Structure 1
Amino acid sequence: MQLSSTPIKGSIFRPSKRPRLLLEEEDDNNDDEDEESDLHVEPHDSTYNPESVVTEDSQSVLDPESNYMDNKYIVFESCLIDLFGSCPVCKTKCAIQKRQMGTFIAFTQLCDKCNYLRQWQSQPIVGSTPVGNLMLSAATDFTGGSFIQLQRVFKAMNLQTIQYSAFRNHARNFLEPAIIHKWNLEQQNIFTQLKKEGAVALAGDMRADTPGHSAKFGSYTLMDNETNKIVDLQLIQSNEVGGSYHMEKEGLKRCLDKLDANGLAVDYIVTDRHPQIQKYLRERGITQFYDVWHFEKGLSKKLEKLSKRKECEVLKRWLKSIKNHVYWSATSSVSGPEKVAKLTSLLNHIQNIHVHNNPLFPKCEHPDVLSRDRKKWFQPGSQALYKVEKVLNNKRVVKDVAKLSHHYQTSSLEAFHSVILRFTPKNVVFPFIGMLCRLYLAAMHQNENCQREQAITTTGQAVYKFVFPKTKRGECTAKPVKTEPTYGPHGPCAR
């Protein structure tokens, strides 16, 4: 039996011409085309089906969707050689031509005795590209995977795959244009739906590719608070705006300009307390609310630092209650002055005084309970009370409390930043277009899965799980378990 990776003289198997980087072959032998077309042998096998031989004419009518849905398997080369090693007509050992291009392999079987000829290939070819090679690149890119890590897995199994240069060529020529086109279509559909509902309430925040002020890329995201869908996403490079500090303002500006260009009105936007964002939205005449978590986080850091002092040890017992009070003050109020009145009433409450002089909040809403532990109260005129009052009555704190969001927050947007990490890890360097496309993939993944329902058991009961968030410092939280996320067929991989 002859096993060769070079063409056999007289073989009619010849793929169409292709770009050099699209396919990696084991041979570079280019026999004369006229010489290969001289031999034309009719198959002698009664079961031979002419439609099973893929020619250039049949390649042009392949159905991409059927190829995508077709099952794929791992096949050992020795098993294929056993299959094509003998002639099915006269049982004589045959000469075999093997041709391999990444995940693609093809065999041409020729019997020297009876001139039986058979051709077989492991996957369809579209143009000059094996479908399996392209689908491997697409599956890796569309799910946020790393080709380098995938290549290591394949190498460990001795599983044949394409080279990185072929993967990048697929990305440039096919995948990235498809991602951008798909995102533009979905974004226009979102704009059309939102315009029917009138002015929209948004949440906005920026994510940098590295911490601190050394970031190269920054992505600003606007999310619809009603549906948790990503409305727009802009990628900014730091050298465009003179430094990473200015990326957030530029990102918001581009997002709002995109919304204006598509006729979308903004009711209000929930953001963090970035000074440049405050000024820009004020100049643009857009109502801004602050995310409660960002405000509470900054306030809690000051109070925790204060509680470590000896004279302020009593504050440790109030830290959790103060955090809860900040959220309650924001969500239970309908106006800015009422939020300020409820938060500043805390200074009376920690002294065991529950009637206040402010008409907007004249009395605490909790029931009157006689405390048995008098040591937990702050004493009037004490050093601890003076320092806590200095923090809570700070001019900026009072000003920002009035603008805390009473309804929607940016928690869903922060969760989307975790989704971005799945597609663009911070320890991997991406080119601009590669980063942009992966951000679009993360946005489409978010929009496809943002309204997943909670998982239920076979008896119809809702499923929960216990988690231990880092922010809770060891405390347990019951979290609802949602159904599994999807990566298609509604995503770009289906196209």
Structure 2
Amino acid sequence: MSDINVLKRGRKPTLTDSAKKRRRTAVNAKCNKNRIYLGSQYDRWSELKCALRLQSHAEVAKILLDRYEFHTQTDQGNPNTIDANTISEKPTNPVTNINDVNTAVEKPTSPAPTCSAMSEETSSANTLLTTSTPGPLQSKLQQHSVHLSDVSEISSSEREHESRYVEETQMSGIEEISRKTDSLWKSAQSSFVNPFDLTITISEGNYEDDDDNFSDEDYEPKSENEGFEDESADPSDQQEEDLGPSIKKIRSETEVDTFLDDRPLIVYMSSILSLAKTHIPPICAVKGCRLPLTIKMELISSALYLKWVCQNKHLAHKWCSQPILNRRLHSGDLVFSAGILLSGNNYQKIADLAKFIRLPILCNSTFLKIQRTYLVPSIDSFWVQSQDMVLQEFRDKEIVILGDGRMDSPGHCAQFCSYTFMEYNTKKILTIVTMDKRMTEKKSTNLEKACFLKGLRQLLDKNMKVVEVVTDAHIQVESLMKKEFSNIKHSFDIWHGAKNLGKKVVKVAQEQKANKPLLEWSRDIVNHFWHCADISTTEQEFIGSWFGIMHHTVNKHQWMIAYSDTAGNECKHGPLSSEREKGWLTGATPPHDALIKIVMDKRFLRKIPYYLNCRSTAELENFQNVILKYASKRHSYGPSTYNARNQLAAIDHNAHCERKVVTNKDGTKRLQRYYSKKGGRWTATEVKTPKQYIYIPELMKHIIMKRLSDDIGMSRRVILDPFDPRRLSATIAPVPPPPTQDLMAAKISRFNREDLDRTIDYDFDQTIDYEWPTN
């Protein structure tokens, strides 16, 4: 039995994934409210931590609490009481430097003092705070021979507000202090932890017996909400305690302006580590110079150069933020250009992004040179290799292929057409062909037929055993298959056939008001067409079942004579419910007569053999959306670039067509719902695992190796490929372009400049007398 079928113990979870996420977010939000906010005293806290050579902030807090309790007990003379007035007193000689703190303090080894949640009560100035009996705590502190300075010397300046919350609280054995936050803590961010909501529980037993099993270094206080991961929390808040003085922090408007004037860079980690490990003396090492060195910065494309020079222009050291390829091409420029194309982006959008964040990148002309010289050829060779591997899987097998074409723009003004052939069972792309309208005498209506013919011949020339081709009902492709590929079965996409049938029914029902009752039966007629194509193997079987819809719609489920020898003379559905959502049609009425014309249409009946196998090209239609990612219809591309972007879409599809469905913890498939605006109903789909793009590193390596093996460079004469459409015509226009100056001179505007500057003054005070006609 598989692990999925094994039942887990306990009650089954009743919450959905969305409810679990909301509950987890609420719990984490509550937990984030209990974070310590040091405010402006954070730097002093960090300096104290470094001076005492402590590893964690908990150790710093422990020492401060130990100091506070020991000092209070020794000064008051009564180890069990603390005067509340002494808490609010300001130090007479506050310490402003951490070096003034007694550096002889050693890290105590006693466990942290017990400190539980504090409750808020109003108290007078003479209120006393009762503490627990020192017991082992005092003996532990007395073991240190160091001097414990006044607690006020290392406390923050915010001690004044704490006196408002001190109260007299009776305790036994363990110190329990309850306190709530005031307006200062309420105004703090919700992502901070309130230290008074943390609970530290330490037994009052013999400490010496636990020394072998307990270490203060391993001790960490636990909050009641610990153990939940906050996926929506800001990671910067969690890492703030690890920030040091060398990391810049932005707190004021002036610092924001300075930050926005700065520039991000594309820097490689190896270059940063190399710079960090390099020791550069501050003085020029040239004999007799000994002048101080200054750092000069220079931006070249996307790379930053640092030069250490003196006033005599002696170069002491030079550093670049990126590794350099042959002939001084920055690796960042090549990889950045490859990333733009391989991710389906466009240079202009990325250039705007870089401009907004002040990121220096390569210029447009350099990008086009890199794309033409290294990217497009590398993608083409990579696609040929991956295509050969796919075709090898079906070399000696009879295959059914799906075919569909896509224009780069709607209407009859398309310049490119890409035609894709997909294997029916595995849904892998076998080949993809792109053509320019200049290859079809600048007629875009002939592009799909030409692409289909070219792609099918490529597969047949590679000895692929194609037994059936499934396409949409394209007239030119249908005629081509009859004439040149009559030995191959040609089928139509059942989805397109059902859609066209539904359009006919809706159109007829809306033409005349009398045919409106037929509109309610449109979905049932389409579903019956799907049913007939699914159960039929011959044309006669299809007709015998298909004609039954004419009788069923008028509530007649048996008829006298069957329409074929293999079909019966009755409906094959079960008992019908007495409750009807729509009414029956009436025979010999306009809606029923219109239905008979649609069902018995001769042109429709001649297409029945194309639907008998009930094939669908739905997966191929989904692949067209992948092409939109790499070759959007809102951008124009050159022939080679458009072909490369379509090849990238095919590589992407083949690498991820076998993705598995995401499963929940209980083994069920994860589903996702979406609303279809066109269909007007909700639909659920399976959630696939995210794409990994495992082919990208290998493709990147192809591109870099092509640059390293190039002995000429990018500044070369552009030679068009033998099949490049630009060899036929420089433009797609039917006539050559005239000079630009002549076009500008012949340009005439319908608006005169004087008319644009003319204004009309209206006198709103002037009244107009109207004479109304009298009867």
What's 1:38 paired with? Answer: none
Structure 2 residue runs without a partner (length 5+): 1-263, 284-290, 703-775
Query: Which digits, 9 at most, give the CA deviation of each residue in 1:258-300, with x for residues without a partner?
Result: 0121111211011111111111111221211111111111111
- When Rg is computed on C-alpha atoms for both structures, the one with the higher figure is 2
Residue pairs, 1:372-451, within 5 angstroms: 372-373=579-580, 376-404=583-611, 406-451=613-658
Q: How does 1:4-23 map to 2 (within 5 A)?
A: none
Equivalent residue number for residue 33 of structure 1: none
Say whether the 8 Å CA contact 2:470–2:491 is kept in structure 1: yes
1:452 aligns with 2:654: no
Residue identity matched to 2:539: G
Contact 1:270 1:405 in 2 (8 A): no
Shift of 1:392: 1.5
**Whole-angstrom CA distance in 1 between matches of 2:663 and 2:651:** 25
Query: How far is the alpha carbon of 1:484 from its aligned partner?
Result: 1.3
Which residue of the partner structure matches residue 323 of structure 1?
526
* Matched residue, 1:216: 415
Q: Residue 64 of structure 1 corresponds to which residue in structure 2?
A: none
Verify: 1:292 aligned to 2:491, yes or no. no
Counterpart residue number, 2:538: 335
The Cα offsets for residues 340-372 of structure 1, whole Å up to 9 and x where unpaired, read as 322222111112222351343313221122545
Counterpart residue type for residue 287 of structure 1: K
The yes-or-no answer on 1:89 pairing with 2:281 is yes
Letter in 1 for 2:553: I
Q: Note the 1:13-412 alignment, pairs <5 A.
A: 88-90=280-282, 93-110=292-309, 117-127=316-326, 128-196=328-396, 198-242=397-441, 243-283=443-483, 284-285=485-486, 286-308=488-510, 309-356=512-559, 357-358=562-563, 359-362=565-568, 363-369=570-576, 371-373=578-580, 376-404=583-611, 406-412=613-619
Asked if 1 retains the 8 angstrom alpha-carbon contact of 2:266 and 2:321, the reply is no
Compared CA separation, residues 73 and 488, structure 1 to 2 (3 A)? farther
C-alpha separation between the residues in 2 aligned to 1:248 and 1:489? 30
Distance in 2 (CA, whole Å) between partners of 1:252 and 1:374 is 46
Contact 1:291/1:405 (8 A) holds in 2: no
TM-score, length basis structure 1: 0.79
2: distance between equivalents of 1:423 and 1:400? 36
| Aligned residues of 2:302 and 2:333 also touching (Cα < 8 A) | yes
- The unaligned stretches of length 5 or more in structure 1 are 1-71
Structure 1 equivalent of residue 687 of structure 2: 481
Deviation (angstroms), 1:93: 4.6
* Counterpart residue identity of residue 509, structure 2: S
One-letter amino acid matched to 2:617: T
Q: Distance in 1 between matches of 2:687 and 2:492?
A: 29
Question: How far did residue 489 of structure 1 move?
Answer: 3.5
Q: Is the 8 A contact 2:265 2:303 kept in 1?
A: no
- How many pairs were matched up? 416
Cα distance, 1:73 vs. partner? 7.3
Partner SS for 2:681: coil
**Superimposed CA distance per residue, residues 98-135 of structure 1 (whole angstroms, 9 cap, x where no aligned partner):** 3322221122224579x882222111111021111100
Distance in 2 (alpha carbons) for counterparts of 1:443 and 1:116: 51
* Partners of 2:502 and 2:522 within 8 A in 1: yes
Q: Distance in 2 between matches of 1:161 and 1:209?
A: 29
- Aligned 8 A contact 1:204 1:270 in 2: yes
Answer 1 or 2: which has greater strand percent.
Answer: 1
Kindly, what percent of the aligned residue pairs are identical? 25
Kindly state the Cα deviation for residue 201 of structure 1 after the two structures are TM-superposed. Answer: 0.3
Q: Distance in 1 between matches of 2:409 and 2:399?
A: 31
Aligned residues of 1:332 and 1:406 also touching (Cα < 8 A): no
SS at match of 1:471: coil
2:472, 2:496 within 8 Å by CA — same for their partners in 1? yes
Q: CA RMSD in A?
A: 2.6
The 1-side partners of 2:616 and 2:378 are apart by 33
After TM superposition, the structure 1 stretch with the greater mean CA deviation from structure 2, 205-214 or 367-376, is: 367-376
Structure 2 counterpart SS, 1:212: coil
Distance 2:701 2:499 in 1: 42
Residues 126/320 of structure 1: CA separation in 2 closer, same or farther (3 Å cut): same
| Aligned CA distance change for structure 1 residues 439 and 392 (closer, same or farther; 3 Å) | same
Counterpart CA distance in 1 for 2:540 and 2:631 is 42
Pair 1:432–1:90, CA change in 2 (3 A):
closer
Alpha-carbon distance in structure 2 between the residues aligned to 1:95 and 1:278 = 76
Partner SS, residue 476 of structure 1: strand
CA distance in 1, matches of 2:659, 2:647: 20
Structure 2 counterpart SS, 1:352: coil
- Take 1:222 and 1:121, find their aligned partners in 2: how far apart are those partners? 47
Counterpart CA distance in 2 for 1:140 and 1:281 is 40
Write out per-residue CA displacement over residues 427-459 of structure 1, whole angstroms, 9 at most, x where no aligned residue.
101010010000100111111111111122344
Is the CA contact 1:205–1:222 (under 8 Å) kept in the aligned structure 2? yes
Q: Do the aligned partners of 1:220 and 1:252 also contact (CA within 8 Å) in 2?
A: yes
Does structure 1 retain, via aligned residues, the 8 Å contact 2:537–2:613? yes
Q: Is the 8 A contact 1:336 1:403 kept in 2?
A: no
Distance 1:471 1:290 in 2: 24
Q: In structure 2, what residue type is equivalent to 1:211?
A: P
Normalising by structure 2, report the TM-score: 0.51
Q: Which moved more, 1:266-275 or 1:344-353?
A: 344-353
- 1:36 corresponds in structure 2 to none
Q: Using a 3 Å threshold, how does the CA distance of structure 1 residues 394 and 425 change in structure 2: closer, same or farther?
A: same
Separation (CA, whole Å) in 1 of partners of 2:666 and 2:321: 45
Structure 2 letter corresponding to 1:190: V
Query: Which deviates more, 310-319 or 359-368?
Result: 359-368
Q: CA deviation at 1:381?
A: 1.3
